[in-house]
Chains A and B, each alone.
Chain A
Amino acid sequence: QVQLQESGPGLVKPSETLSLTCTVSGGSLITYYWTWFRQAPGKGLEWIGLIHSGGNTAYSPSLKSRVSISVDTSRNQFSLRLNSVTAADTAVYYCARYVWDGSSSAAFDIWGHGTMVPVSS
C-alpha cells in the first residue's frame, strides 16, 4: 500500500529556509495531488499547500509569500520550502495524499508519520 515518509534537517535557524521532502512508496504520485500540513507543539493542524503531479499548486494565504511546493516525478517525491522562518514555524510537518475527482469527492487519505522541525539558533 502507499506510504509517505517525510525527511529533512532536524533543526533550522531563524531567517533561514526550511526544506522537507516527502517520499512516496508503494505507488506512483502521478495523477494525484500531494499536500503539506503542520502542527505547532500543543496546537491544532494547519494546511500549508498542495501540488498536483503535473505541477499546479495552491497555498495557504497566510503562508503564500514564503512557501513553495515542488514535485519530482522521477524520484516519486515532493518537497516543501518555507523561507525566512521564525520560532513560530516550529512544528511537526506532515505530508499527505489528496484525492480529488474533479467534482464531488475530496479526500486527504494517506498521511506520513510527520517530522518535527524546531526553529532555533
Chain B
Amino acid sequence: QTVVTQEPSLTVSPGGTVTLTCASSTGAVTSGYYANWFQQKPGQAPRALIYSTTNKHSWTPARFSGSLLGGRAALTLSGVQPEDEADYYCLLYSGPWVFGGGTKLTVL
C-alpha cells in the first residue's frame, strides 16, 4: 500500500509565503498522480482547492497554487491570510486514491 507523506506542521507569518509538499513512497510524484489538495478547518468538511496537480476550482483564492516540486506535489500559499490557518490534505492516485496525513498550518 502506497504511503503519502506531508509535513505534519508548518508555521507562516501573515503576508508570507509557504509551500506544503506531498511525497509518495512509490517514487517521484508526476502528473499521473492527479494530485488534489483540500483545506479543512475545525468542525468543517474539507474544501477542494486544487485538482490534477495545478488546476484551481472556481472558488479557489488566487493566492493558492499547485505544482510539482522536486518529485513531490506542492501547494504554495502566497500572501498568507489569517483565515488560511487550517489542516491541508493532499490526495494522490496510485491505483487506489491515498491521502497524506495532513499538514497543520499555523498563521502566526
Question: Do the two shown chains form a genuine complex with each other?
Answer: yes
Query: Do A47 and B46 touch (CB < 8 A)?
Result: no
| Chain B residue contacts of A58, Cβ below 8 A | 96
Query: Do B96 and A105 touch (CB < 8 A)?
Result: no
- Nearest chain B residue, comparing its CB with the CB of A92: B45
Query: Do A109 and B46 touch (CB < 8 A)?
Result: no
A118-B97 Cα distance, complex, nearest whole Å: 24
A-B contact pairs, 17 of them (CB 8 A): A37-B46, A44-B100, A45-B40, A45-B46, A45-B89, A47-B96, A47-B98, A61-B1, A61-B96, A94-B45, A106-B36, A106-B93, A107-B51, A107-B55, A108-B36, A109-B48, A109-B57
Query: Do A44 and B102 touch (CB < 8 A)?
Result: yes
Give chain B's interface residue range (CB within 8 Å of chain A).
Answer: 20 to 34
Give chain B's interface secondary structure class: strand
A52-B48 Cα distance, complex, nearest whole Å: 20
A61-B31 Cα distance, complex, nearest whole Å: 23
A92-B28 Cα distance, complex, nearest whole Å: 31
Give A118 Cβ to nearest chain B Cβ, in Å. Answer: 17
A31 at interface, CB cutoff 8 A: no
Binding site for A on B (CB under 8 A): 1, 31, 34, 36, 38, 40, 45-48, 51-52, 55, 57, 89, 91, 93, 96-102
Query: Do B52 and A45 touch (CB < 8 A)?
Result: no
A46 at interface, CB cutoff 8 A: yes
Query: Do B99 and A106 touch (CB < 8 A)?
Result: no
Query: Do A105 and B55 touch (CB < 8 A)?
Result: yes
A111-B47 Cα distance, complex, nearest whole Å: 7
